[in-house]
Chain A
């Protein structure tokens, strides 16, 4: 009652000392709560041991033209494929206008190593492992990879040609350390 009349005499817009204390206390508690909440959110991010396995080396020498291998990088499968001349030509012949995610073979391989197609073996639709890397697997209608989960077809440059996947198979960062050795990551 007393407080009410006191406030009224000072006018409705008057800023009181107590208002400042309320806001300051609220702000302090809010920042404190957020600070404490962050470790509980961040603990779900990849732990140090997971982050430590960031790069991997792959020896290319045993892979013959037309063959591909599967390896693992950051717990995801990676396809390393030695393209034949015919497969490279086939990929170059496709007009970019026909592609959902327009990229040339040159965009997806490195200079002087146009026969080496390195992609993640993870379908860009929902993360299944496409078929086509191992001998005798279904390579899909475009001779590259075929994802059996939801029917995405990739061509010899690992580009999406048909099916639900939105983009081409991802080309990870990698570098040639020698003509037959690459480091992924």
Chain B
């Protein structure tokens, strides 16, 4: 793990030496997220979102454990127990709003984190497994968030469960049996609620386990960086602590500012008012929408309106929706350009931003009613989404002429510093860089 020039853990205090020889947990922490882990010195603020995702996960786990103490997983009492948390439980409103908005914030930072990975080529060799574990976490997050949204047993909870579990009935022959098995009846009911509660409690800990695997895999090659060239020597890195713990702490403060703004001043801005109506299996809300973080995928699901070949439209939609995420597992091999950082890929840089806009358009359409022009727009946007990964990226890998890469991280950093500081700086930068060379 890590680079040969990493700081070594040398406990001074006799007690710490005693512990180190018996249970080297402080050593593990030191080497993983302490001064013993060297990090590329040029990583920018986009690299804060990994740690922020970890913070968001911990907020969800802590608030979730507390909410479970007051929640009642039964269709006759679930809705009321959530209102009980809001009105009667001491600080219950705060903890529930933190959990509700925490889910949205978790997805916000993870979406930033994913697009940062796309921009800086974090999925490329030798980090394919880090990327794929990230996709696994994303899938687990979606399952967890979906089941959590069902628990209050409001209208959107019930009809969301109805729509999402119906996706499985699109599978030929066995689909209906699988759906019945998943919900434990012919429609979502108490059996569905109780099993979702059980799994909603379990899955965050599975996510935590995969996060640990992901950090383990990440720490073999270390992070990517904006220059896109790999670490070559001690001059390219700084210890994680105190340099990046301090930077991450600053990022966390900014994150918590936004989080608190939502929790205290607009806690329901990202929710749907219909979920404050108790579930009614005989009345469909006029406009069923999932939570905003599912909108891009929901738009892809709904983009298929006609049967094509021998496959019905519904199955096409389901296949496309799952494919849009599973596709990401193959990204390290779809993009065979060896240049990691988009800063040195003039053509990919344009297509990257087109993809960002495309996903935003899909998100907008996914939240809109299933009417024209949204259906036609989502069809075009969904087609582009797949074309980006399956056609544009492989072609770009061949035709793009990348810009000249810096020789090293240190060179790119000190060259930049030289530009800023004017005439005198190059000499100083050269002096600073010299001992390392």
Contact = CB atoms under 8 A, between A and B. Distances in A.
21 contacts: A46-B184, A72-B281, A72-B282, A75-B186, A75-B187, A76-B187, A77-B281, A77-B282, A125-B166, A128-B288, A129-B283, A131-B284, A148-B284, A149-B159, A149-B287, A151-B369, A151-B375, A164-B302, A164-B304, A166-B313, A166-B314
Contacts of A55: none
A185 B302 CA distance: 32
Contacts, number: 95
Interface of B: 159, 162-163, 165-167, 169, 180-182, 184-187, 189, 191, 195, 281-284, 286-288, 302, 304-305, 307, 312-315, 317, 369-371, 375
Given A164-B314, A164-B370, A166-B315, 20 more contacts: A44-B184, A45-B184, A46-B180, A46-B186, A46-B191, A47-B185, A50-B184, A50-B185, A50-B189, A70-B282, A72-B281, A75-B185, A75-B281, A124-B314, A126-B162, A127-B169, A131-B284, A149-B284, A151-B370, A166-B314
A163 B317 CA distance: 13
Contacts of B287: 148-149
Nearest to A43: B184
Given A45-B184, A76-B187, A164-B304, A128 B282 contact: no
Interface in A139-177: 147-151, 163-167
Nearest to A152: B370
A121 B184 CA distance: 20
Q: What secondary structure prevails in chain A residues at the interface with B?
A: loop
B167 A47 contact: no
B312 A127 contact: no
A136 to B, nearest CB: 14
A166 B162 CA distance: 17
A164 B166 CA distance: 14
A45 B313 contact: no
Given A45-B184, A50-B191, A126 B166 contact: yes
A92 interface: no
A41 B182 CA distance: 10
B307 A100 contact: yes
